[in-house]
Amino acid sequence: MIFRIDRRTGTAVYVQLVQQVRQAVRTGRLAPGDRLPTAREVAEHTGINPNTVFRAYRELETAGLVEPRQGSGTFVRERLPPVADVADLRRELSAWVDRALAAGLDAGDLQAFLAEEVRHRVG
């Protein structure tokens, strides 16, 4: 897979890598047993620090999504942990968005709120 790094979002680069792998696994672009690009490949292609890639892969490993295999790289695990129940959260969010819009907030306001809340917690 190919990573896309956006330096202007303010989201830390390793978080972007983690999110993109998660999403690729979720959408099936990465299947169990697929190899992730090596840190060198990612570094060469995106110009980001390979240590950042290692850090993202370690995080994914801790989350049980991928596993390193001695000498051959990092692979998507055959048996993935159950995905958190997103559906519930999505339902709550859409209800909240409805209420916010009804209260007169616009899309920009909502994004700013969300970004601020996330920044407080994730940093």
Partner 1 sequence: MSDDVPRPAVLTHSFSVERHGRRVLHDVSFALPFGAVTALLGRNGAGKTTLLRAMAGLLPHRGTLEILGRPSGDEVRPRVGYVGQHAPLYRTLSVAETLRAGARLNPRWSAAHAKRLVDAAGLRRSARVGRLAPGQRMRLAVIMALAKRPDVLLLDEPFAPLDPVARTELAGTLMAEVAAEGTTVLLATHVVAEVDGMCDHVVLLGGGRVLLAGGIDEAVDGHRLAVGDDTDRAALAGADVVEVRPGSGGFTALVRTGPPPPAALTWQRPSLEELVLAYLREDSA
99 counts as binding partner 1 under rule CB under 8 A: no
We find the least distance from the C-beta atom of residue 100 to partner 1, in angstroms, to be: 20
Q: Which of 18, 36, 39, 60 binds partner 1 (CB under 8 A)?
A: 39
C-beta atoms surrounding 56 within 10 Å: 26
Nearer to partner 1, 49 or 110 (CB): 49
120 counts as binding partner 1 under rule CB under 8 A: yes
List alpha helices for the chain, DSSP H: 13-27, 39-46, 50-62, 86-102, 107-122
**What whole-number distance in Å separates Cα of residue 21 and Cα of residue 60?**
8
Residue listed under structure tokens 């859409």: 94
7 counts as binding partner 1 under rule CB under 8 A: yes
Nearer to partner 1, 94 or 111 (CB): 111
Nearer to partner 1, 30 or 56 (CB): 56
Phi, psi (rounded to 5 degrees) for 63: -75, -5
